[in-house]
Amino acid sequence: MEVLDLGLVGYSEALKRQEDLLYKRINGRVGDTLVLAEHHPVISLGRVGKRESITSESFFEGKGTPVIVSSRGGEITYHAPGQLVLYPIIDLSRKKRDISFYIDFLEKTAVNSLKRLAVEAERTTRRGVWTKGKKIAFIGIALKRWVTFHGIAVNINCDIEPFSYIHPCGESDIRVTSAKEELGREIPMDEVKRTFTEEFEKDLRLEYAGMAALV
């Protein structure tokens, strides 16, 4: 599997890179690819996202934070530097055609990665990844011809204050945290990216071992 680190990049630019890889993967011109990115501050609204989930438009307007309607699933979330976003471009038709299974995999690999970084992460009955009752990772995916794009955003060193001015995932009762908040220190992003990449590749092999959907 190839790994492409875009570094700090605009949300729209990252989407263009994903879409380019998506169509190349569909046409067999590239293999499975894991795209890593951090984003300049932005609010993204998924396919069922509602502008009303922003509880203080003035807060984001004052900071010049744009609101972008995205092609991913899910509702609303916030992206900023210090948040690691993983965008897997993976052909599930060659593994297992099961969207819930794939989302489970994303959650599991995020939990495993965060635990390696000393964060007490877990899965619950609600989607995403949690620690001590607070949400630390957010999932919003899309598929085209069983090739995945979009993915999972994990709060590492990012400022979490802006999350208090939205209803994350469209739900008013979600408290948000980050690895920095939980540990009381920043984690070098190079270490974070290395850990998540290693866990993603390992867990992908384990979760999809021996599975080959009909093509």
Per-residue pLDDT of the chain (215 residues; tens, 9 = 90+): 999 999 999 999 999 999 999 999 999 999 999 999 999 999 999 999 999 999 999 999 999 999 999 999 999 999 999 999 999 999 999 899 999 999 999 999 999 999 999 999 999 999 999 999 999 999 999 999 999 999 999 999 999 999 999 999 999 999 999 999 999 999 999 999 999 999 999 999 999 986 764 43
| In a domain? residue 215 | no
The verdict on pTM exceeding 0.85 is: yes
Dist. CA 129–CA 38, nearest whole Å? 18
Please list the active-site residues.
169
Cα–Cα distance list, 59 to 45, 136, 161 (Å): 17, 22, 11
Dist. CA 63–CA 83, nearest whole Å? 18
**Cβ 111 vs Cβ 207: under 8 Å:** no
Dist. CA 78–CA 80, nearest whole Å? 7
Phi, psi at 38, each rounded to 5°: -120, 150
Q: Considering its fold, how many domains does the chain have in total? A: 1
Domain that holds residue 136: 2-207
| In a domain? residue 214 | no
Cα-to-chain-centroid distance, residue 158: 14
Cα-to-chain-centroid distance, residue 155: 9
- CATH code for the domain of 151: 3.30.930.10
